[in-house]
């Protein structure tokens, strides 16, 4: 098979199965229709999804496929198209790739209780300069400077996730890079209030619950994002300058 330049993935690996341990530990698959995950997938493009989740605190779950699982971040305020804005993104447990199709309602009192909407969905590619895109993504994740280009229905263009050096669970910042998809005065989460796949509102999803999620664990509470900096430069550039000092 000829080698393609675009980012590809292999079938689910033992490593991917290992990475889903925490996801599975939190869930009882005799009680939930959620995917157990780790199955093989035919598509070769890397998957991207954002789920809007009306749990104890409304938040957005950003998921980006890497090495057979969906790396996942809770973004309390959701994405911003403004390159001067940094949005807090708290890394949480890897999810199965099959989770990208989930939209529905989790019963109150269960893990992440509330409605889940597929807010945006699509694919992504590597956004850095490493000649090997898969290695570039791996190194970017390890270094905490993860550059990616979204090809969703609602979000497109160049983005970065930058990890902050703090103890405890990894906290990252989600930042839009300057490109033709950047917009300084916009409210993309306010503009899009319905499901990207079913067109349903949160209320319609809540009334159409059709499956049960069971867990004994509480989802980490969302915390407010840091306010955007006042200066006019790119948030990403200022952040990286600080990191290298």
135's CB contacts (< 8 A; 6+ apart) are none
Q: Which stretch binds Mn ion (CB under 5 A): 57-65, 159-167, 193-201, 227-235?
A: 57-65
The nearer residue to Mn ion, 61 or 145, going by C-beta atoms, is 61
Using the rule CB under 5 A, is 77 a contact of Mn ion?
no
Measured distance CA(70)–CA(56) in Å, rounded: 23
Q: Measured at CB, which residue is nearest to Mn ion?
A: 53
Decide whether 104 or 140 has the Cβ nearer to Mn ion.
Answer: 104
Of 196 and 239, CB closest to Mn ion: 196
CB of 112 to Mn ion, least distance (A): 5
Q: What value, to the nearest 5°, has the Cα angle with vertex 185 and ends 115 and 198? A: 30
Max intra-chain CA distance, the chain: 52
- The interface region with Mn ion, picked from 59-67, 79-87, 101-109, 121-129 by CB under 5 A, is 59-67
Nearest partner of 124 among 110, 113, 108, 140, judged by Cα: 140
Chosen residue from 53, 86, 87, 121 binding Mn ion by CB under 5 A: 53
What's the rounded Cα separation, in Å, for the pair 245 and 225?
A: 24
Stretch that binds Mn ion, among 9-17, 42-50, 61-69, 197-205 (CB under 5 A): 61-69
CB atoms within 10 A of CB 136: 19
Which residue from 92, 53, 86 is spatially nearest to 69, judged by alpha carbons? 92
Helix (H) or strand (E) holding 235: helix 235-244
61 in contact with Mn ion (CB under 5 A): yes
Q: Is 54 in the site for Mn ion (CB under 5 A)?
A: no
How big is the site for Mn ion, counted in residues (CB under 5 A)?
Answer: 2
- The footprint of Mn ion (CB under 5 A) covers 53, 61
């Amino acid at each position: 098979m000829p080698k393609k330049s675009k980012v590809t993935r292999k079938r689910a690996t033992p490593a991917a199965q290992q990475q889903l341990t925490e996801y599975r530990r939190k869930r009882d698959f005799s009680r939930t229709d959620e995917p157990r995950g780790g199955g093989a997938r035919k598509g070769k493009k890397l998957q991207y999804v954002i789920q809007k989740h009306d749990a104890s605190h409304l938040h957005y779950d950003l998921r980006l496929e890497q090495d057979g699982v969906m790396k996942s971040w809770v973004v309390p305020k959701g994405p911003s198209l403004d390159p001067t804005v940094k949005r807090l993104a708290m890394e949480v447990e890897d999810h199965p790739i099959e989770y990208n199709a989930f939209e529905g309602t989790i019963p109150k009192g269960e893990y992440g209780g509330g409605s889940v909407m597929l807010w945006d969905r699509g694919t992504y590619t590597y956004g850095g300069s490493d000649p090997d895109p898969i290695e570039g993504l791996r190194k970017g994740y390890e270094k905490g400077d993860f550059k990616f280009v979204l090809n969703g229905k609602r979000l497109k263009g160049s983005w970065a996730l930058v990890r902050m050096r703090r103890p405890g669970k990894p906290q990252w910042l989600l930042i839009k890079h300057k490109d033709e998809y950047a917009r300084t005065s916009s409210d993309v989460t306010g503009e899009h209030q319905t499901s990207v796949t079913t067109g349903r509102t949160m209320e319609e999803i809540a009334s159409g619950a059709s499956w049960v999620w069971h867990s004994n664990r509480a989802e980490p509470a969302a915390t407010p994002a840091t306010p955007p900096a006042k200066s006019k430069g790119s948030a990403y550039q200022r952040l990286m300058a600080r990191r290298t000092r």
